[in-house]
Amino acid sequence: MPFVLGRYDVEAVRSVRQFKGHTDRITDMHMSADARWLLSASLDGTVRAWDVPSSMCLQASSTARLEQSLVAVTSLAVYF
């Protein structure tokens, strides 16, 4: 089963972007105010930063690097 975030054009009724990379359920996401960046969190233990225009994952940070890797990311809080 794929775990893909999608961006849709509701007027054209079609998918315009797909963000692939998570390997478990996506639990949260946050889009920047200018819609250029997207952060996503998943039960696979990663937080990913995406470039929206290109649909590319710019960075994936994993909780597996922690000594006790039984951590899953279930929500995001973004402060500017």
Please give the pLDDT value at position 6: 86
Please give the pLDDT value at position 53: 94
Residue 1's pLDDT band (cuts 50, 70, 90): low
- For the record, the structure tokens of 48 come out as 């990913």
Residue 77's pLDDT band (cuts 50, 70, 90): low
- For the record, the structure tokens of 66 come out as 């922690």
Quote the CA–CA distance of 16 and 13 in Å, as a whole number: 9
Amino acid at 22: H
Query: How close are the terminal C-alpha atoms of the chain, in Å?
Result: 35
- Is the full-model pTM beyond 0.85? no
